[in-house]
Structure 1
Amino acid sequence: MSHPKPMLSLGQVVLFGLAYMTPIIVLGTFGVLAVVTEGAVSGAYLAALVAMLFTAHSYGRMASALPVAGSAYAYVRHAIDDRLGFIAGWAILLDYLFLPMVIWLIGAAYLNSAFPEIPVWAWLFAFIGLTTLINIIGLRLASTINSVMMLVQVLVIAAFVALAAHYVLGDASQPLWSLTPFIGNQASSSLPLLMAGAAVACYSFLGFDAVTTLTEETRNPQRTMPRAILLITLLGGLIFVIVSYFVQLASPGYDFANPDAAAYEIARNIGGDIFVSIFLIGLVVGQFASGIAAQASGARLLYAMGRDGVLPKRLLGRLGRYGTPVGGLLLSAVVALLALKLDVLSAASFINFGAFLAFAMVNVAVIAHYYVRGQRRGVGDTLRFLIAPLLGLAAILWLLASLDARAITLGSIWLACGLLWLLWLTRGFQRPTPELSLES
């Protein structure tokens, strides 16, 4: 059986996860979060960061115990039950299949707004084709491109924060320290508003989960993966909190002409027309880098599920000449063509349902693997393998309940389809789902 060759270092894995998270997206979604939280975007990101750190800890523990590709799918099936593992994989597959499509659709929409003479579908085909080609050639090329694109994002973000701080101190004549970005302007701002915002903000934290699909391609994964997962979550979360804090100071409240494009309005206000163009370039570059990471991670999850026969093995369970899962990459590209008939909101509305369901099951998997089966019940172990995952589970369930009704409905339909496929696969639960090999 063929397996990917370990080649990725801690730094490359962290970079890949941060690229997946697309740090500059904090600017692209600022207006939407400001409206949801009534001017407390930083508070929403801080709440999301705290919640995600507990789940990131659980992912790190399971990545150390089971250094294989497959993410939540592999962890839950081996720690709890193979059928529940399938449901976890099906839930997170929703994210991995549709997230690249959403990323490319957003990038195409921004470019179409700047160059309206070129239709959205042309930009979409360019995103899909170039990203798929890069990922088929292999991770070394993808990692190099991500390094350059992350540098562009960091420079644009730094410029945005510097201009926002200059505007606050100069034109706005305000202090640089305030609790307003964390609690909002209105007395009515409350924890439910923050949690509703955090439920949306968690879209940006999927990077720590995505890198677990690269476990088999990472050097010394038992040590590298737990460290990378926590670093990605912490660094990404701090970027979101700090950037949103300064932007919220420069533009207090949540009254925008168009919340979906609030960052353009703010960029023009603090930096003028030239900076608006620079911001657009940075945002599109960020979307491209994120698309590379999202498609690569999704294809490797499809590879893990295809390798053991849960999904069609001939299509998805084999590696191409460059050692990459070509079948999964091509399937991701085909799914992305649905963007030709969808808008961003309808495409992205139910992604977090799958993420939260999988996150909840991974927290339970830690308890099952270490505390129940492994009998790890000392004081320190109880904190790591029982208390921490229980806190993570509680936070995720709260975020899940904070999603809007449409997202829950669409996510439930996807889950029902997965249950029907599982019933067929197991002939009505008369036989177990095929077992994933742990050979590296």
Structure 2
Amino acid sequence: MSDPAKKLIPQLNLAGLIVFGLSYMAPAVVIATFGVIATISQGATPMAYVFATLAMLLTAMSYGKLARRFPASGSVYTYARRTIGSKLGFLAGWIILLDYLFLPMVAWLIIGLFFSAQFPFLPPWAWGLIVIVFCTAMNILGMKVADRFNRFLLIFVMAGILCLVGFGMAFAGGSGVSPAVAMWPESTTFSLVAAGAAVAAYSFLGFDAVSTLSEEVKEPRKNVPRGIVAVVLSGGIIFVVSAFVMQWAHPSLEFADIDTAGFEVLNVIGGPVFADLVNSTVLIGGLASCIAVQASGSRLLFVMGRDGVFPKKVFGHLSEKFRTPTFNLVFIALIGLAGQFLSMGDATSLINFGAFLAFTIANICVFVLWWKNRSSMPVAMHFFGYMLIPALGIVVDLYLLFHLSPLALLIGGVWLAIGVVYLAFLTRGFTRPAPGLDIETAESDDTLTTTVIAPAHTP
């Protein structure tokens, strides 16, 4: 019999799910990463985002199928555990952990850089420190800032994006530069665009977080798959259009600092006042995103600690006063501090290692799901959705994975190796089932009894 105290109330509709996904993705991140992607792709930033959008869309379709079949929290961890087995499920959870631990680090790095660009009286690392302390304090107190103001902040951020697009097109249109230069300059190649797409994919991180909210969504089997695809398409349109306007307005690859090149382009388009106003949308929207991603990472660590994957007394501890995982929040904050001295390119590549590997596993899960049910799922009827799309998704995700920086591949590979060794320890040399997060569906498809790993919610 399920425990009513663990039941979550379905209250999000499809629109709310899309708003959550876009808010988590922080659409203004396209401004923050513009310089890095423009440099890597040699001036083909919008095409890098087109490539990334198509790649993420393939995987989003696979996530949608899995979410329809398993409307429970845990995302790729749950899907791998249910379709392939507990051991690969554990490794999928370990890979997800790479994202959840380091995504706050990158978010803080970006917001520190852009605070310093607008308010240069403090260096980026000092702004980063202030933001880290602020976010950690808010999360320890349990204030669900991102959750309460998602709709308002998204409207505010989108207003800034619209200003960028409107003023940017007016500026670029009067510059005499051909729009074609912004799409595929002579200096670029397909390989360079793919390398840019490998970093551009960072902007999409968060679309898969929609699948972790299955238990709080009305009609999850229908709305979660639709929400996942809608978030990727909406985000892709925003990123491609914004990147096109910025590249058209500033086709040159000469920047004072590639990490804050987006701010430089804003100055070119509309001057200092315009740049400060639009940059404010990055800062405000980014601040809420920082709080949300730190909360999600601490929540995942808490669930894994509570279930014995990590030491329970430490990672499974909750503050008696605030009922929040204080140790986990401080632990993630310390990782964030160390990350303030990385370049944005290396930091975003590091995050994408875990994302691309997790996306690959999700696509594999779709194929395995078909294989296990092939007697009731004829090839002729399910070839496109359960074989062709996942196969393309695997190829594209692995292609982008191996276009990441050598540092990202090295650290990611070491992280994966540690996970394999730790799994061997927990399973006594792979002779026992892997420990798992407490993710089990109840008898009813609509009322689930699991503990959700919800990225924008503190416990």
TM-score, normalized by length of structure 2?
0.86
Q: 1:264 to 1:140 in 2, by over 3 A?
A: closer
Distance of aligned partners of 1:310 and 1:67 in 2 relative to their CA distance in 1, 3 Å threshold: farther
Q: How far 1:326 moved relative to its partner?
A: 6.3
Moved more, 100-109 or 45-54: 100-109
Identify which of 173, 177, 184 aligns with 2:176: 173
The 8 Å contact of residues 4 and 323 in structure 1, kept in 2 or not, is answered as no
Deviations 1:260-303 (A, max 9, x none): 22222221121011112113212211321321332233344334
The runs of 5 or more residues in structure 2 that have no matched partner are 442-448, 450-459
Aligned to 1:354: 354
2:369 matched residue in structure 1: 369
406-415 or 257-266, larger mean C-alpha shift: 257-266
Aligned partners of 1:147 and 1:300: how far apart in 2?
23
Asked whether the equivalents of residues 23 and 153 of structure 1 are also in contact (C-alpha less than 8 Å), the reply is yes
Q: Which moved more, 1:238-247 or 1:261-270?
A: 261-270
Q: Any conservation in 1 of the 2:198–2:404 contact (CA below 8 Å)? A: yes
Name the structure 2 match of 1:429: 430
Measure the CA separation in 1 of the matches of 2:323 and 2:70: 22
Partner of residue 255, structure 1: 254
2:93 aligned with 1:89: yes
Alignment of 1:115-134 (within 5 A): 115-118=119-122, 123-132=127-136, 134=138
Question: Once the 2 structures are TM-superposed, how far is the Cα of residue 103 of structure 1 from its aligned partner?
Answer: 0.6
Q: Which residue of 2 aligns with 1:73?
A: 77
Deviation (angstroms), 1:225: 1.3
- In 1: Cα distance, 2:20 partner to 2:372 partner: 33
Q: Cα deviations across residues 392-427 of structure 1 (Å, max 9, x unaligned)?
A: 111111111211222111111111111121111112
Corresponding residue number in structure 1 for 2:444: none
Map 1:6-85 to 2 at 5 A. Answer: 6=9, 7-85=11-89
> In the alignment, is residue 3 of structure 1 matched against residue 6 of structure 2?
yes
**Which residues of 2 match residues 292-371 of structure 1 at below 5 A?**
292-316=291-315, 328-329=328-329, 331-339=331-339, 344-345=344-345, 347-371=347-371
What is the letter of the counterpart of residue 429 of structure 2? G
* Cα separation, partners in 2 of 1:295 and 1:374, compared to 1, 3 Å: farther
Structure 1 counterpart of 2:388? 387
Q: CA deviation at 1:228?
A: 1.1
> What SS does the corresponding residue of 1:58 show, helix, strand or coil?
helix
Preserved CA contact (<8 Å) 1:63 1:225:
yes
Q: How far apart are the structure 2 equivalents of 1:62 and 1:95? A: 20
Residues 344 and 195 of structure 1: CA distance in aligned 2, closer, same or farther (over 3 Å): closer
Q: What percentage of aligned pairs have identical amino acids?
A: 40
Partner in structure 1 of residue 446 of structure 2: none
Could you tell me which runs of 5 or more consecutive residues in structure 1 were left unpaired when the two chains were aligned.
none
- Using the TM superposition, give the Cα deviation of residue 331 of structure 1 relative to its aligned residue in structure 2, in angstroms: 4.2
User: Could you tell me how far apart the structure 2 residues matched to 1:65 and 1:140 are?
Assistant: 30
**After superposition, what is the alpha-carbon deviation per residue over 1:361-390, rounded to whole angstroms, capped at 9, x for unaligned?**
110011111343454224332211111111
1:318 to 1:5, Cα distance in 2 relative to 1, 3 A: farther
* Partners of 2:50 and 2:236 within 8 A in 1: yes
Deviations 1:195-244 (A, max 9, x none): 11111101111111122223333333222211111111110011111111
Aligned length: 435
**Kindly tell me: are residues 169 and 152 of structure 1, through their superposed partners in 2, closer, same or farther at Cα, counting changes over 3 Å?**
same
Equivalent pair of 1:34/1:41 in contact (CA under 8 Å): yes
- Structure 1 residue 55, shift from structure 2 partner: 0.4
Could you tell which deviates more after superposition, 296-305 or 376-385?
296-305
Q: Are residues 1:144 and 2:143 paired?
A: no
What letter matches 1:3 in structure 2? K
In structure 1, distance between residues paired with 2:114 and 2:125: 12
Q: 1:232 to 1:135 in 2, by over 3 A?
A: farther
Q: Distance in 1 between matches of 2:325 and 2:224?
A: 21
Partner of 1:416: 417
Q: Secondary structure at the match of 1:184?
A: coil
Counterpart amino acid of residue 108 in structure 1:
G
Within 1, Cα distance between the matches of 2:435 and 2:256?
Answer: 53
Q: Which residue identity lines up with residue 361 of structure 1 in the other structure?
A: I
State how far apart, in whole Å, the 1-side matches of 2:387 and 2:86 are.
Answer: 22
The residue correspondences of 1:282-301 to structure 2 (distance < 5 A) are 282-301=281-300
Aligned pairs for 1:205-224 (under 5 A) are 205-224=204-223
Question: In 1, distance between residues paired with 2:302 and 2:217?
Answer: 16
Moved more, 202-211 or 318-327: 318-327
Quickly say closer, same or farther: Cα 1:143–1:67, change in 2 above 3 A.
same
| Cα displacement (A) at 1:150 | 1.5
CA contact (8 A) 1:70 1:301 kept: no
Give the match for residue 455 of structure 2. Answer: none
* Cα drift, residue 130 of structure 1: 3.9
Separation in 1 of the partners of 2:115 and 2:286? 11
Q: Which residue of 1 aligns with 2:440?
A: 438
Query: Which deviates further from its counterpart, 197-206 or 129-138?
Result: 129-138
1:322–1:226 CA distance, 2 compared to 1 (3 A): farther
Structure 1 window deviating more from structure 2 (208-217 vs 112-121): it is 112-121
Aligned to 1:225: 224
Distance 1:113 1:245, change over 3 A: closer
Shift of 1:438: 0.9
Report deviation, 1:316. Answer: 4.7
Q: Which has the higher helix share?
A: 1
TM-score (norm 1): 0.90
Q: Given the superposition, is the C-alpha separation of residues 437 and 327 from structure 1 closer, same or farther in structure 2, using an over 3 Å criterion? A: farther
Tell me the secondary structure at the aligned position of residue 6 of structure 2: coil
CA RMSD between the two structures: 2.7
Matched residue of 2:207: which SS?
helix
| Aligned-pair CA distance for 1:68 | 2.1
Given that residues 80 and 365 in structure 1 are in contact (C-alpha distance below 8 angstroms), is that contact kept between their aligned partners in structure 2? yes
